[in-house]
Amino acid sequence: MSFKNENSISHDADHVERVKRLAIYIAEKEGADVKVVEKAAELHDIARNMENHSIEGAKIAREILRSDGYDDCFIERVAHCIESHAFSSGIEPQTLEAKILSDADKLDAMGAIGVARAFLYSTETARGIKETIEHFEEKLLKLYELLYTETARKIGRERHRFLKEFYDQIKNELDFKDLEDS
């Protein structure tokens, strides 16, 4: 089950698939309930085009899972993962599974893929380079410190290093510091 977000190329089916693969990998390494994590990853951005997409996504996920015959306990575990996964939701993940979904989503915003997605999102929202770099400062460069699991930190270490290196380089070019040694 995968849901296509018609309004976004930075939060598309490929993003959902990458988050799902990362989440399953982390869940297996960390000893979490893989089925909860997998279903939560599949549905995590179902309401991406809505305000408070995490909260609204959890509501929609409950309806979908209920109609698919899942029991209430499973539904609530998945819903909690979804409502707490976003950087901006303000809801702290309380379960290992919720922490894993949050980690997987953050990892997809780091590294080379994270850089590409940041600029795709900027295209979608008509942000320029300067505003995109501000997004790096306000969010992306902080993600590594917010990872919950050891497995995610191992994966994220190199992704964070690359993100920081890219940021430093583009800042140097924007400030013309790269001309100083020429």
Domain of 68? 13-174
Indicate if the pLDDT at residue 69 is higher than 60.
Answer: yes
Measured CA to CA, the distance from residue 17 to residue 20 in angstroms comes to 5
- Tell which residue, 101, 115, 83, 86, has the closest CA to residue 148: 101
Burial of 63 (0-12, 13-18, 19+ CB in 10 A): exposed
In a domain, 2, yes or no: no
In a domain, 181, yes or no: no
What are 17-60's pLDDT values in tens digits?
999 999 999 999 999 999 999 999 999 989 888 888 899 999 99
Residue 170 in tokens: 């583009």
Residue 109 in tokens: 């915003």
Domain with 47 in it: what CATH number? 1.10.3210.50
What are 80-119's pLDDT values in tens digits?
999 999 867 788 999 999 999 999 999 999 999 999 999 9
pTM of the model: 0.90
Alpha helices in the chain, H assignment, sequence order: 13-30, 34-43, 53-67, 72-83, 96-107, 111-125, 129-138, 150-174
10 within 8 A of 120, measured Cβ to Cβ: yes
Listing DSSP states for 120-158 in one string gives HHHHHHT--HHHHHHHHHHTGGGTGGG--SHHHHHHHHH
Count of the separate structural domains present in the chain: 1
In a domain, 95, yes or no: yes
In a domain, 127, yes or no: yes
